[in-house]
Structure 1
């Protein structure tokens, strides 16, 4: 019989953190799930690490995904191998709380119209120390119409739904072509948006995931590119469905996308100074 939930991990050069990620998934108090992991042909010892998990009854370790194709190649690979009704993707350096699956599955079961559930998350540094606690969702709370959730994220100028580890969704609603990579910096938000246009969302205000950030360079060029992609994504939504976003909402969202990209760069610069100070 197929498990109710598939947790999939597209690993890529995560050797320093991958065991912590996998252990956090295997520590769930929910039982009806599988863990599918594939390495994207890393050269850091990931393949050897995964051998230690290959014999676990819940774990399926796939052969390495061939090089190339960006994040989408491995995200699609593990997602296509999933057998569960519900899907959660967890990146190879992030964590989920022991009750993440049980609480998110319960939220979807309590709301049959919902197609996706998202939670808050903590931002942690390379050592796992919480840098910023309980981020995400904006004002979203409880059962929210999918279109309203999409609109709120556009107006906020940022991905209110959080990184993949924050989200559980109905696998059948993932696009036939897999994860939406037209705007690579928004691969998760764009994919969740397409799902939310098919049903409602449940927003859990608890922090049930941890997203690891590092002190790497966040350049001005990168900041501008991320803002440009967000604005292009907003415009594509408005063009596809003029009733989804008013002209005012689109203008506000585009301005905030620029501000949020700038704020993100400042956060990374601050984190770099903080870590050097330690």
Structure 2
């Protein structure tokens, strides 16, 4: 049995209002030999029933992740099932823009030393209204060696690559990294990308490729303190592990920028929470 070129994997949990759009956005991608793997992790709503509407498509595999283990269990379970050379993890409330998968596959095909590419993304609120049309890749001007990309995102004090739906990775590199890195839960995306970038290069995709849905659970001022603590702790950990890549100056700059971003989030969260509640 031949393997698909690309695996799009979806760790679903209580995504019944959005999972149909998520899955449709993958299956409607053109010019790509793909499989779509969706794992439901003990949802309390009708997510499983909504997923089942796509069961007749031969490209679709539906899984159940047993209760327990949180997001880490579902991320790793659904990713471990991937058979494609390339893999994209797409959260169950986000979706892809038309043509994005074909474009990202071409980027990695043209750059064999690259282990991942990331697109800019569109931010929408829970109703689907656009908040920002093209966001991400701050300060990225072109291809980067892995170590350069790592320093850049650390010094920025934030994940410049974006949420998983914006990223296409080489599955072999993700496997070699031990799948998803949840040691610092708020930084799982960035930490995992960095583990891959220790193995190869980064190529940006300047076009918007995915839609990230903001939700009310993200609008917590208290959460900004936790986010900053996670970022600064991760920077120190990475510096200790890889002093050949990060200097103390890189960590200081990154922590300062992370603190400034946390203050901006406080204001932004209040504004957007009010908007989304109206």
Contact residue 119 and residue 167 of structure 1 kept, 8 A: yes
Of the structure 1 ranges 50-59 and 266-275, higher mean CA displacement relative to structure 2 is found in 266-275
TM-score when scaled to structure 2? 0.95
Q: Any idea what SS the aligned residue of 1:98 has?
A: coil
Contact 1:214-1:271 within 8 A present in 2 as well: no
Tell me the distance in 2 between the aligned counterparts of 1:142 and 1:106: 16
Write out aligned runs for 1:226-265 (5 A): 226-265=227-266
Superposed counterparts of 1:38-187, under 5 Å: 38-62=39-63, 64-174=64-174, 175=176, 177-187=178-188
Mean CA deviation greater in 44-53 or 266-275: 266-275
Structure 1 segment 169-208 matched on structure 2, within 5 A: 169-174=169-174, 175=176, 177-208=178-209
Q: Distance in 2 between matches of 1:219 and 1:95?
A: 24
Where has structure 1 moved over 4 Å in runs of 4 or more?
none
Deviation string for 1:212-233 (max 9, x for gaps)? Answer: 0023463343211111111111
Taking structure 1 as the reference length, what is the TM-score of the superposition? 0.95
Say whether 1:14 aligns with 2:9: no
Query: Any stretches of 5+ residues in structure 1 without a counterpart?
Result: none
Aligned residue for 1:173, secondary structure, equals helix
Give the distance between the partners of 2:263 and 2:68, measured in 1 at CA.
29
Q: Distance in 2 between matches of 1:172 and 1:208?
A: 23
Query: How far apart are the structure 1 equivalents of 2:11 and 2:31?
Result: 21
5+ long unaligned stretches in structure 2: none
Query: Between Structure 1 and Structure 2, how many residues are aligned?
Result: 276
Q: What residue number does 1:3 align with?
A: 4
- Could you tell me how far apart the structure 1 residues matched to 2:68 and 2:191 are? 21
Q: CA RMSD in A?
A: 1.3
Residue 136 of structure 1 and its aligned partner are, at CA, apart by 0.8
TM-fit CA distance, 1:272: 1.7
Report the CA distance between 1:276 and its aligned residue: 3.4
1:142 Cα shift? 3.0
CA deviations on 1:25-79 (whole Å, 9 max, x unpaired) are 11101331100001011010111111111111110011x2111212110000110
